[in-house]
Amino acid sequence: MDSRTEPEGEGAAAIHRPPLVRELLLVAGLFLVYKFGRQLANGHTAEAFHNAHRVWDWERALRLPGEGAVQSALLHGDTLVRTANLYYVAVHFTATAAFLVWLYLRRPDHYLWARRILALVTGAALALHLTFPLAPPRMLHMAHLVDTGQLYGPTVYGAEPATDSMANQFAAMPSLHFGWALMVAVGLIAATRSRWRWLWLLHPLVTLLVIVGTANHYWLDAVVATVLLGIALAVVPSPSAKPQRIAPAVRRAVPSARSAEARTADGHGLVGAGR
C-alpha cells in the first residue's frame, strides 16, 4: 500500500483520527460478537443440507458455471491447490486487518467509512447465517467436489462439522471471504489516486476463484455478498460526499492568512496612492 499514491495535504492531516484504544476494543468486540453468533448457528445440519440442495438447483437453473470447473484447474498440481488453501486460511483476516490499519494511519476519514461498511456487511451476513444455514459444496455429494483443505491442507475446519468448536461450517452464504476482499479493493481504490489502483480488484478475483475452487463456497455465496456490500455502500456516505473537517488550528490560520492578504493589499494601495 504505497502512501505516495495520494499526497496528504494539511487538510488531510487535520482530519480527526479516532482514539486507537477505542477502535481496537470496538473491532475486537465486533469480532467476538460475530464469532459467538456463528456458533449459535451450529446444530442445524438437516436444514443446512436442505438449503445446499436448493442453492445447487438455483445455480443450475441460472445456468451458472459449475464449481467443479475451477476445482479441476486447481487439482492439476499439489502446489497450486495447497497455495489456494493457504490463501483461503491466511489472507482473509490479515489482508482486511492490514487494510484497516493502513487507512487508520494514512486515511482516517476513509477508515471510519470502511469500518462502518464492514460492520454492516458482517452484521447482515451473521443474520443470514442464522436464518439460512448452508452446507458448503465440499459437503454436498451431488456436487462431486473434494475437500481440498482436508486432503492437501492447510485447513481451519475440523473433519467433523458437528463437533467443530472453532468455526460454524454451515455458514457458507454469504461469503465474507469475498465480501471483505471486495471491500478492501473498493476502499483502496477510493482512498488512493495511483493509476495502478484498479489492480486491487485482483484480490477479490483471486479470492473468488479460491473460495469456489476449494469447494468452500458456491457462486451464489459471492453474489449475495456483493449485493450486501452494494447496499452498505449506498447507505454509508462516502468521505468525498461529506464536508471535510478542519482542525481548530487550521480554522484559526485561515482568517489570519486572509487578514495578512488584506493588509498587503492595503499597503499596495497606499503606495500606489503616494505615487
**DSSP reduced 3-state for 6:** coil
Residue among 208, 220, 221, 226 at smallest CA distance from 70: 208
pLDDT number for residue 57: 96
pLDDT tens for the chain, residues 1 to 275: 454 444 444 444 445 788 888 888 887 877 777 777 666 656 678 999 999 999 999 999 999 999 999 999 999 889 999 999 999 999 999 999 999 999 999 999 999 999 999 999 999 999 998 899 999 999 999 999 999 999 999 998 877 765 555 677 898 999 999 999 999 999 999 999 999 999 999 999 999 999 999 999 999 999 999 999 999 999 999 887 554 444 444 445 445 545 555 555 455 444 444 44
Q: 15 is written with which cell numbers?
A: 482530519
Domain boundaries, the chain: 16-244
Determine the length of the chain: 275
Instruction: Calculate the CA dihedral of residues 149, 154, 158, 161 and round it to 10 degrees.
Output: -30
Report the C-alpha gap between 169 and 48 in whole angstroms: 10
Q: What single letter denotes the amino acid at residue 95?
A: A
pLDDT number for residue 25: 86
Q: What 8-state DSSP symbol labels residue 155?
A: -
Is the previous residue joined to 174 through a cis bond, with omega within 30 degrees of 0?
yes
